[in-house]
């Protein structure tokens, strides 16, 4: 294992350099008058230094590369679909929340999640979703005035 | 501001009227509820309820507002312990050990010790508020930008201990958190950076959304992956802490009181900072630091004590100088001014009955909180027994509402979602989450104080070593960094982040 390059370290060096570049573009300033990119440049430099240390430690010590867990064990095939479904549902919800509004959007999200995770009869999950939306609407919109998105219904 | 037993006793007499006791109880209940709901913090809670109190006499209104404030500070720990959702940044250290305790079937003792520690620290720091306010307020005024920067730098050095043995990963986590929180406008110049021309990004990344994403959403994704039936299927072992548990936490409670109270005097030093410092100190003084992150009961007592002590400490500069040390106290200051009361030395001279009644009501409020919350420990802990297919969607929903209600922006929901994904990947790849949260919380103050300090010193970083208070903090921070690196280099071993150590 000795002498293997740690690609993770390489990635951090690239990311750090990118942050440094972006910070430099908005002006670093000087020590007597630090600019808006001053601290961001520092954070980017940190990433670069850590990346370089990881790269070097990969070359001189087998420890960091030996402990790598294979990708398939980290994200087993069986769970990928379930996970992707949840993430997709959340993504779509956030994307259309403004257009659909809190009541409809949240009802669909909850229904989708209840159906996926519990798999009860669809009526049960529909009622559960309706109750959840109703209660949270009363608490957050009516009582706490959270200004939830209105969407296509005159509610929210 | 002069202390007088007569005034204090008179204050107790006013606070103990049936009407004021009722408002204090309502305030504690509402505050706890606000704390439990993610995203609705004490500041927004007080701001929402402030207009409703106009029908009350000023003393009753402020008693209720103060009760909401410390009630919310207590309530924030509940969800952190039971379902790993720290509604406030200050509850993050509580979640580290509280949630681990809950997974071991000890949610009850964790919640109870949190209530007890909050009560002890809250009451002790009230004693400080009562007797030493003028002296302590002067101490707070000695802090300028260099001292603040040194304090924040010391805060960042906690990354070393929060990273466990995964130091490099901890530093990466910190650097990413720091970069994320710099997105938006520079607090001093208003110049925008890392926004890629997006108007929403110019508003900056709110750390509450980051926390909700990193903790709540990533936790759900992990649970989805394992198709769990319960958030944790360990049988609930006991509802209340044993006497040995309480005894074990006495030191932590006392230390966290001191840390929380003194740091709470500093404007801008939010409970989020003091709870991290208290947690770190406890880990350092412990004979078994390896237990931290795995369910050490002192890891719950220390941040919760510091949280409540900071709350009381913040009232010293508020009453003595009219200086709010945090957003919630700024809203409270607005409330005082709404009633025509101008905080400052004259407040104690012109309205002693009012001030001492509020202070006395805080003693009573602490007792009310303990009496209300200890019997409810079982109820809160039972939340974890709700099957995951029901609890999971609800947590997601509360996370979304919590993120949205910070600034009523969908952008914050996106941030929570993105950081949920990042948090999930970090957990899978063994990156510690706490350093990222710490950096996100400290970034803005760190940047502002650094810029101000360098402007004052005309670019000389020596300013951090020539002023005594700043120098002490800097030396402590540097010593902590060198020690951490030395220990890391000496004990070459597999990298295991603190949160995931089994």
**pLDDT at residue A108, as a whole number:** 93
pLDDT tens, position by position, B337-379: 777 777 776 777 777 888 888 888 888 888 888 888 888 777 7
Domain boundaries, chain B: 5-500
Residue A57 shares a structural domain with residue A86: no
Facing residue for B410 by CB, picked from A27, A97, A128 = A97
* Domain assignment present for A53: yes
Residue A80 shares a structural domain with residue A62: no
Q: What integer is the mean pLDDT of B4-28?
A: 87
**pLDDT at residue A67, as a whole number:** 56
Tell me which chain B residues have a C-beta less than 8 angstroms from the C-beta of A144. Answer: 40, 48, 405
**pLDDT at residue A17, as a whole number:** 94
* Rounded CA separation A129/A148 (Å): 17
Reading chain A (156 residues) residue by residue, the pLDDT tens digits are 445 556 678 889 999 999 999 999 888 888 888 888 888 999 999 899 989 988 887 666 554 444 566 667 777 777 778 888 889 999 999 999 989 999 999 999 999 888 876 666 778 888 889 999 999 888 888 877 778 888 887 765
* Domain assignment present for A109: yes
Q: What integer is the mean pLDDT of B81-103?
A: 83
* Domain assignment present for A1: no
* Domain assignment present for A49: yes
- CA-to-CA separations, B178 to B219, B335, B367, B446, B478, in angstroms, rounded: 22, 34, 39, 10, 19
Q: And the tokens for B92?
A: 């993050």
Asked whether the beta carbons of B325 and B269 are under 8 A apart, the reply is yes
Tell me which chain B residues have a C-beta less than 8 angstroms from the C-beta of A43. Answer: 175-176, 178-179, 182
Residue A60 shares a structural domain with residue A90: no
Tell me which chain B residues have a C-beta less than 8 angstroms from the C-beta of A79. Answer: 224-227
Distance from CA of A74 to the nearest CA of B (A): 7
Interface with A, mutate which of B169, B184, B393 (most A CBs under 10 A): B393
Q: What integer is the mean pLDDT of B395-399?
A: 85
Given a cut of 80, whether residue B144 has pLDDT beyond it is: yes
Task: Please report the residues numbered 62 through 121 in chain A whose beta carbons come closer than 8 angstroms to any beta carbon of chain B.
Answer: 63-64, 67, 74-75, 79, 82-83, 86-87, 90-91, 93-94, 97-98, 106, 109-110, 113-114, 117-118
Q: Which helix (DSSP H) or strand (DSSP E) does residue B192 occupy? A: strand B192-193
Number of domains in chain A: 2
CB contact (8 A) between residue B429 and residue A74: yes
**Domain stop point among A52, A68, A84:** A68
Residue A53 shares a structural domain with residue A22: yes
Tell me which chain B residues have a C-beta less than 8 angstroms from the C-beta of A139. Answer: 37
Interface with A, mutate which of B178, B179, B201 (most A CBs under 10 A): B179
Tell me which chain A residues have a C-beta less than 8 angstroms from the C-beta of B217. Answer: 90
Of B118 and B493, which is predicted with more confidence? B118
Which SS3 state, helix, strand or coil, does residue B470 take? Answer: helix
pLDDT tens, position by position, B148-157: 888 888 878 8
Residue A48 shares a structural domain with residue A81: no
* Domain assignment present for A12: yes
* Domain assignment present for A133: yes
Interface with A, mutate which of B171, B174, B193 (most A CBs under 10 A): B193
* Domain assignment present for A106: yes
**Of the candidates B334, B352, B364, B308, the residue with the CA atom closest to the CA atom of residue B24:** B364
Tokens 């996370």 belong to B399
Interface with B, mutate which of A86, A99, A112, A129 (most B CBs under 10 A): A86
Residue A39 shares a structural domain with residue A87: no
Task: Please report the residues numbered 120 through 139 in chain A whose beta carbons come closer than 8 angstroms to any beta carbon of chain B.
Answer: 128, 132, 136, 139
Question: What's the predicted TM-score (pTM) here?
Answer: 0.77
**pLDDT at residue A76, as a whole number:** 73
Q: For residue A46, give the chain B residue with the closest CA.
A: B175
Reported confidence tier of residue B428, pLDDT bands at 50, 70, 90: confident
Residue A85 shares a structural domain with residue A123: yes
Q: How high is the ipTM of this complex?
A: 0.88
Tokens 């926390």 belong to B211
Task: Please report the residues numbered 6 through 35 in chain A whose beta carbons come closer than 8 angstroms to any beta carbon of chain B.
Answer: 12, 16, 19, 22-23, 26-27, 30-35
Residue A12 shares a structural domain with residue A63: yes
Tell me which chain A residues have a C-beta less than 8 angstroms from the C-beta of B40. Answer: 144
**pLDDT at residue A113, as a whole number:** 87
Residue A89 shares a structural domain with residue A131: yes
Facing residue for B221 by CB, picked from A38, A50, A86 = A86
| Mean of per-residue pLDDT scores for chain B | 82
> What region does A151 belong to: left with phi over 0, alpha with psi -120 to 50, or beta?
left
Q: For residue A50, give the chain B residue with the closest CA.
A: B168
Q: What integer is the mean pLDDT of B400-428?
A: 89
* Rounded CA separation A16/A46 (Å): 7
**Domain stop point among A50, A68, A86:** A68
Facing residue for B450 by CB, picked from A22, A39, A118 = A39
**pLDDT at residue A69, as a whole number:** 63
Tell me which chain B residues have a C-beta less than 8 angstroms from the C-beta of A103. Answer: none
Q: What integer is the mean pLDDT of B59-80?
A: 84
**Domain stop point among A68, A90, A108:** A68
* Domain assignment present for A126: yes
Domain carrying residue A46: 7-68
Three-point CA angle B460, B462, B466, nearest 5°: 135
Q: What integer is the mean pLDDT of B492-496?
A: 46
Range picked from A35-39, A41-45, B71-75, B439-443 for highest mean pLDDT: A41-45
Q: What integer is the mean pLDDT of B177-199?
A: 86
Return all residues near B463 (Cβ < 8 A) that are at least 6 apart. Answer: B146, B453, B454, B456, B457, B470
């Amino acid at each position: 294992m000795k002498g293997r390059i740690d690609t993770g370290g390489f990635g951090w060096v690239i990311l750090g350099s990118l942050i440094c570049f972006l910070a430099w573009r908005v002006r670093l300033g000087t020590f007597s008058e630090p600019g808006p990119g001053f601290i961001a440049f520092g954070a980017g430099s940190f990433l670069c230094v850590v990346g370089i240390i990881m790269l070097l430690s990969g070359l001189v010590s087998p420890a960091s590369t030996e402990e790598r867990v294979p990708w398939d064990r980290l994200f087993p095939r069986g769970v990928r679909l379930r996970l992707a479904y949840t993430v997709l549902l959340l993504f779509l919800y956030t994307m259309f929340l403004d257009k659909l509004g809190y009541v409809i959007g949240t009802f669909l999200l909850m229904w989708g999640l209840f159906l996926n995770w519990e798999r009860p009869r669809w009526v049960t999950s529909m009622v559960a979703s309706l109750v959840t939306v109703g209660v949270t609407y009363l608490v957050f919109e009516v009582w706490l005035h959270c200004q939830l998105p209105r969407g296509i219904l005159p509610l929210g | 501001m002069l202390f007088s037993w007569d005034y204090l006793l008179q204050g107790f007499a006013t606070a103990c009227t049936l009407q004021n006791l009722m408002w204090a109880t309502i305030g504690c209940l509402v505050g706890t509820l606000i704390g439990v709901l993610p995203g609705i913090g004490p500041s927004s809670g007080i701001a929402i309820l402030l207009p409703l109190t106009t029908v009350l006499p000023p003393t009753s209104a402020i008693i209720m507002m103060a009760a909401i404030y410390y009630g919310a500070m207590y309530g924030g720990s509940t969800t952190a312990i039971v379902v790993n959702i720290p509604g406030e940044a200050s509850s993050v250290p509580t979640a580290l050990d509280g949630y681990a305790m809950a997974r071991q079937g000890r949610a009850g003792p964790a919640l109870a010790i949190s209530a007890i520690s909050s009560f002890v620290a809250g009451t002790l720091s009230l004693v400080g508020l009562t007797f030493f306010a003028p002296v302590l307020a002067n101490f707070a005024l000695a802090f300028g930008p260099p001292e603040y920067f040194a304090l924040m730098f010391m805060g960042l050095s906690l990354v070393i201990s929060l990273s466990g043995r995964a130091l490099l990963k901890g530093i990466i986590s910190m650097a990413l958190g720091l970069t994320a929180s710099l997105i938006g406008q520079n607090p001093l110049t208003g110049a925008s950076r890392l926004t890629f021309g997006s108007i929403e990004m110019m508003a900056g990344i709110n750390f509450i959304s980051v926390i909700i994403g990193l903790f709540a959403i990533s936790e759900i994704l992990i649970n989805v992956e394992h198709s769990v039936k319960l958030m944790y299927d360990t049988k609930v072992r006991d509802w209340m802490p044993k006497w040995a548990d309480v005894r074990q936490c006495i030191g932590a409670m006392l230390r966290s009181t001191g840390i929380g109270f003194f740091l709470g005097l500093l404007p801008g030093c939010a409970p989020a900072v003091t709870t991290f410092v208290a947690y770190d100190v406890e880990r350092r003084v412990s004979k078994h630091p390896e237990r931290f992150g795995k369910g050490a009961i002192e890891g719950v007592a220390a941040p919760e004590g510091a949280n409540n002590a900071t709350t009381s400490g913040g009232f010293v500069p508020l009453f003595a100088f009219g200086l709010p040390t945090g957003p919630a106290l700024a809203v409270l200051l607005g409330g005082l001014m709404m009633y025509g009361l101008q905080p400052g030395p004259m407040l104690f001279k012109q309205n002693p009955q009012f001030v001492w009644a509020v202070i006395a009501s805080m003693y009573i409020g602490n007792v009310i909180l303990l009496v209300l919350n200890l019997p409810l420990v079982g109820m809160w802990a039972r939340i974890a027994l709700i099957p995951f297919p029901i609890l999971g969607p609800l947590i997601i929903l509360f996370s979304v509402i919590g993120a949205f209600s910070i600034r009523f922006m969908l952008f914050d929901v996106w941030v929570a979602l993105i950081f949920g994904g990042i948090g999930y990947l970090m957990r899978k790849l063994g990156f510690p989450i706490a350093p990222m949260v710490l950096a996100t919380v400290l970034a803005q103050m760190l940047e502002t104080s650094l810029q101000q300090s360098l402007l004052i010193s005309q670019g000389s970083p020596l300013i951090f070593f020539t002023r005594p208070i700043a120098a002490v903090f800097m030396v402590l921070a540097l010593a902590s960094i060198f020690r951490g690196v030395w220990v890391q280099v000496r004990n070459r071993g597999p990298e295991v982040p603190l949160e995931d150590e089994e």
